[in-house]
Structure 1
Amino acid sequence: MDVSRARRLLPPLTAGVCAVALVGGCSSAGDAAAERSTQAAAPVAANELQDDYRAVIKNVLPSVVQIEAGNTLGSGVVYDGKGHIVTNAHVVGQEQSFKVTAATGGQPVTARLVFSYPEQDLAVLKLDSVPQGLRAATFGNSASVDMGQIVLAMGSPLGLSGSVTQGIVSATGRTVSEGRTGGGTGATIANMVQTSAAINPGNSGGALVNLDSEVIGIPTLAATDPELGSGSAAGIGFAIPASTVKTIADQIVKNGKVTDSGRAALNITGRTVLDDNYEPAGVAVVEAPPDGAAGQAGLKPGDVITRLGDTEITTITSLAEALASMKPGDKVTVVYTRGTTTRKAEVTLGET
């Protein structure tokens, strides 16, 4: 995934009368006492934060598992007391059965796939038996997630089960497109949580947790820097928000599949087209079923979509990213070309 395509300085020191403190001093006894108090408070605050970290790890780690899917490893989160595990679709791949091990240790337990939903890169497994010590995670409110919050990422990076990394919420509301290389699903996912906590291969499907021991997201992607080739860009990772996880997982647990994706669609099959300079220039409609959103608005195979609402469309990825911010039933103007003619259509968006 190429996020570059998608993806305090201290005030200047000023001179003042207290500069003479270097040779003669100008602080009062009260100032000195305050400074000693501040210095004493610093290690206390650090110890309290360290205790918070330890408490969160103790609370949440029994809700995190390692998933062995064929020849690959990933992570998962215990969703309920019935043995349902939520993870990423790209972790399960094409496998139907798995070996699941608690992050706190113990023998592997077999699990089966309930349903995989690559469009949102989520999947649910069901343990054949629930080991002692495993407990369901508590999922937080995505609306309360904000920049600067301290978070911990728990999972099995590089197969190191039960690993924990620390960072902050760097941003919210990111729309990120996942590549298909390396087992990715190619999904475009909206409202993702960006974090500086280290996300490495094997973390996928694990838990991004706040200091209230709540899962606020499922770590899914690490950014890649095109200048580093396939290497990850340090400190830029993305997690699917808890609200999306719960919406999708609840449907899978209840119905065995996703019945209401909430994802807007034009209901077309399309491909990126290039202009005379071999630059991406739009999305050609390959199929547009008459009962689909685009088909009902008059679009036909061969039309080339160049704008969706206020967003210029140059590639199939840019189209997916534009749709990710919309909802089924929204009305949007689609600009497209048919032959040498530019046309517009008012489309009521469908659902994937």
Structure 2
Amino acid sequence: MRVVLRIVLWLTTIFLVLEVTGTTHYLSYIYENKISPLLSSQEVIPSISNVPNLKLPNIESESNFVGINCIDKSDVVAVKQGQYYTWRDSDGTVHFADQPPDVGDYKHETLPDSRKDYFSLSFDYKGRNFPPYFNNKAENGGKAVIKAIEGLLPNQVLAKTHLQVTIYNNSKAFHDYRIQHTDISSSSINGFYSGRLNQIMVLHQGDDKQTIQTTLHEITHAIQAKQFARAGGWFTEGVAEYFEHIETLGNSSFVPINEYYLGFLRNKQNRLATRHLLTADYGQWKGSMRSKYYANSWALSYFLMTKSRRNIMSEYLTHIVQNKCEVIDNIRFFETHYPGGIVKLNRDVDTWLYSDHSVPNYH
């Protein structure tokens, strides 16, 4: 009898340990090593964790991120009209250009379509000559993030923003700059956005894909700091996690599902109630439950970016931009704008997590 009891006790102990620690290692491994996307969520689920070593998004500090230039309207930009010049030379050849000729007659034409001119983006590569495919991927990805956010907002609500991205290949040079120009104490980060300097600094550590994702994450933070400073943690981190995976396809872009977060959240003990997520203090993203906050913020952001709900995300962004200096009441907004309120939103996100995700979000 005693032997049987010992066996039962032993098996129960093992079961409890697996229940508690069966989720160890997953997200920390993702952030420390970025598991290959060739692995399916089913292959990774057995090793999900509390993530004590999860790297946080590397903004300089919350004080430099929340409320930046909330009353600065001096650089609001309206719609920019496309224009070109045309003329015929002495041989009868017709020329088209964005500048007129030095001499001779020409016509000044305005394009029938207009385009927004809210953002400019420049890159500076230090330490070595990065291959053209890397430069193109980083720059096209950054422009795709900007274009996607622009597409969610009406004309004449955004402020003009110039984003400067510097990518280092040399760790010492990167950290020397961090120490000299910011108050960031961590020496383990590989990228950060400084709100005070309005600069994005990224360290390339041999992994092109990870470096590009870090760059896109920080570009999103820079846009948020300028345009959406008081949106709250779920939006700040969830949307940055969302856009770091954006891919370009011709003139369009798309964001595939994050299989790692999807697998993590299909374990119901990792789900956070939407009401709690919307009201949580931003500091909680840095606490012991940070893995759950990041994953749930990503899920809510991705869900609201799906085609059938994107109008609600668009209304949310417009509301934030038009009320920059106010702390956003997320509960009131979603109770008012989401059909069925937050209870229905929470239920719909749960259902979405178990739906088919073969078609990505296109922008």
More strand by share: 1
Identify whether the pair has TM-score above 0.5, normalized to the shorter chain: no
* Structure number with higher relative contact order (C-alpha < 8 Å, ≥ 6 residues apart): 2
TM-score by length of 2: 0.28
- Normalising by structure 1, we get a TM-score of 0.28
More helix by proportion, 1 or 2? 2
Task: Pick the structure with greater CA Rg.
Answer: 1
